[in-house]
């Protein structure tokens, strides 16, 4: 089995793929998502053990692990936890390992590991060209060219970040659930905020994607992932597919490509 970890600013996603160590091709057998709140290596290790036990996974059968992170301090914690409590040294995703994808941008070392994992997974499933949209703490739009290269993208603040900023700086606005109201023209404050966030961000994604189409010279599949993918996809003109666990699948594919090599 293969253990995969996606360490983000707000959430951590962990998955277990069945199958052999050549990439866990037996499918996603278990997955969890929880807060990235600070933990020690021991706390993270015990959490891992509890998660595996909750699905009756024998950690002794985990013969590979891979981790991507955009938070350096958490990367060290979880690398230590996997090494000591699962007994596997995780492969760390970076631009200079064998991704099976050429990175054609100005500074390859600057691109987030999660963005690379998304591009790899989307490209394997849909081919190129394409746009992958990760709707999490930040909104990442990543573009794969017709010849399968990662060629960059765009980054914008995520929905939750914008809502937190709005509420913290406007004393009279109530906190609201993140869902689309029936009408864009809100007839009360709650609906007005929901309209601005949901329809506004759907428009932001569509505007960026349409400009990317123009630069690519063609329309492409647009694959959405992340915690807010389903909320926005329903109101987007450009999103064509939702893949909730795209990043975890990208980690599986990268591990498979690196297996047996000095990665």
Active site residues: 114
CB 11 within 8 A of CB 30: no
User: Per-residue b/e over 206-238, b at no fewer than 16 CB within 10 Å?
Assistant: bebbeebbeebeeebbbbbbbbbbebbbebbeb
Strands 11-18 and 27-35, by their bridges, are antiparallel
Q: Is 141 helix (H, G, I), strand (E, B) or coil?
A: strand
- Measured over the CA atoms of residue 126, residue 253, residue 28 and residue 247, the dihedral's sign is negative
Return d(Cα 201, Cα 193) in angstroms, integer.
12
Return d(Cα 16, Cα 216) in angstroms, integer.
36
Return the axis-axis angle of helices 72-81 and 41-54, rounded to nearest 10°.
60
**Edge-first strand listing for the sheet containing 138-144:** 150-157, 138-144, 130-135, 222-225, 241-242
């Amino acid at each position: 089995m293969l253990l995969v970890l996606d360490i983000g600013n707000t959430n951590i996603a962990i998955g277990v793929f069945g199958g052999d160590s050549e990439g866990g091709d037996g499918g996603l057998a278990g997955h969890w998502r929880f807060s990235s709140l600070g933990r020690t290596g021991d706390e993270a290790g015990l959490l891992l053990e509890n998660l595996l036990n909750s699905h009756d996974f024998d950690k002794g059968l985990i013969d590979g692990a891979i981790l991507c992170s955009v938070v350096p301090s958490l990367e060290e914690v979880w690398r230590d936890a996997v090494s000591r409590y699962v007994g596997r040294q995780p492969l760390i995703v970076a631009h200079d390992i064998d991704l099976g994808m050429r990175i054609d941008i100005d500074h390859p070392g600057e691109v987030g590991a999660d963005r690379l994992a998304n591009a790899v997974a989307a490209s394997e499933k849909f081919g190129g060209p394409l746009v992958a949209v990760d709707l999490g703490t930040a909104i990442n739009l990543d573009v794969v060219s017709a010849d399968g290269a990662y060629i960059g993208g765009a980054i914008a603040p995520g929905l939750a970040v914008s809502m937190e900023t709005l509420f913290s700086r406007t004393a009279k606005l109530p906190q609201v659930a993140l869902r689309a109201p029936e009408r864009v023209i809100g007839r009360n404050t709650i609906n007005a905020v929901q309209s601005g966030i949901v329809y506004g961000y759907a428009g932001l994604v569509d505007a960026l994607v349409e400009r990317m189409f123009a630069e690519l010279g063609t329309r492409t599949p647009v694959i959405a992932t992340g915690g807010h993918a389903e909320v926005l996809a329903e109101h987007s003109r450009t999103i064509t597919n939702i893949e909730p666990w795209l990043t975890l699948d990208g980690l599986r594919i990268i591990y498979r490509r690196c297996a047996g090599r000095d990665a």
